Amino acid sequence: MAHYALNINGVTHQVDVAADTPLLWVLRDTLGLLGTKFGCGVGNCGACMVHLGGLPTRSCMTPVSTVGRKKVLTIEGLTAQGDHPLQKAWQELDVPQCGYCQGGQIMTAAALLQETTHPTDAEIDDAMAGNLCRCAAYQRIRAGIHRAAEIAAKQGVKS
């Protein structure tokens, strides 16, 4: 066991866990932040996507010992009320089917929109390639990202 101070969604959490514990399981089991999902454990599906130091990162492949002082943002921290442009667009277009992968989809999309305010279909396909949706709600995920870009532009804020 080792001690870590983790900055998650703007709050510092003190945890005592094995050094090789993936950030995913620290979030889920230790801190009860259950929005970040376990899908494959090997970085293939994207259900565990968080932002680490602002970059989309698979938390199932990120040992807690490597997090350091980097800020962790999870789906719970994007906005708790659901008013991030992507969260709004997802509700407006009724994107989810089972919904299990959607937290990860939104976190990857949020990183994309930070870099590219109005992505093309090809840019979306490229950015989202590591996020699997078994229900195959891809058509609405793609539409949701376009819609979120519009909402963000209207709000005049960077999403």
Partner 1 sequence: MKRRDFLQRSALGSGGLLLGSYLDTATAAETIAKPSGAAPLGGFKPNAFISISSQGVVTLISKQPEIGQGIKTSLPMVIAEELEVNWKDVRIVQGDLDPIYGGQSAGGSTSTPNNYNNFLRLGATARTMLVQAAAQTWKVAVGECLAANSAVQHQASGRSLSYAELASRAATLPLPSAESVKLKDPRDYKLLGTRIGGVDNLAIVTGKPLFGIDVHLPGMLYAVFEKCPAFGGKVLSANLEAIKALPGVRDAFVIAGTSQLTGLMPGVAIVAESTWAAFSARRQLKVTWDEGTVVEQSWDGFAAQAQKVSKQAGTVQLRKDGDPAAAFGRASKTVEASYSYPFISHASIEPQNCTAWFHDGALELWAPTQNPAAGQNLVANTLGLPKEKITLHITRSGGGFGRRLSADYIVEAAAIAQRVAAPVKLTWSREDDLRHDHYRAGGFHFLRGALDGQGKLTAWHNHFVTFANRITRDGASVLQPGSGASLSGDEFPGRWVANCLLEQTPMECGIPMGPWRAPGSNVFAWVFHSFIDELAHAGGRDPLEFRLELLGQQDLVAGTGERALPYNVGRMRRVLTEAAQKADWGRKKFPRGQGQGIAFHFSHRGYIAEVAEVTVSKAGVLKVNRVVVASDIGSQIVNLSGAENQVQGSVIDALGTLMFAELDIQRGRVVQRNFNDYTLIGMSDAPPRIEVHFVKSNEPVTGMGEPAFPPLAPAVCNAIFAATGKRVRQMPLSRSDLSWS
Residues that bind partner 1 (CB under 8 A): 1, 17-18, 20-22, 25, 28-30, 32-42, 44-45, 47, 74-76, 78-82, 86-87, 90-92, 94-103, 106, 121, 124-126, 128-129, 131-142
Minimum distance of partner 1 from residue 124's CB (angstroms): 7
Nearer to partner 1, 67 or 133 (CB): 133
Secondary structure element (H or E) that encloses residue 110, with its range: helix 102-115
Nearer to partner 1, 139 or 155 (CB): 139
Q: Give the separation between CA 107 and CA 102, rounded to whole angstroms.
A: 8
Minimum distance of partner 1 from residue 40's CB (angstroms): 4
Q: Which residues pair with 3 in a beta bridge?
A: 16
Minimum distance of partner 1 from residue 121's CB (angstroms): 7
Minimum distance of partner 1 from residue 54's CB (angstroms): 18
Q: Give the separation between CA 69 and CA 63, rounded to whole angstroms.
A: 13
Q: Give the separation between CA 19 and CA 62, rounded to whole angstroms.
A: 11
Secondary structure element (H or E) that encloses residue 5, with its range: strand 2-8
Nearest to 149 by CA among 107, 129, 120: 120
Minimum distance of partner 1 from residue 21's CB (angstroms): 5
Q: Supply the DSSP symbol for 3.
A: E
Length reported for the chain: 159
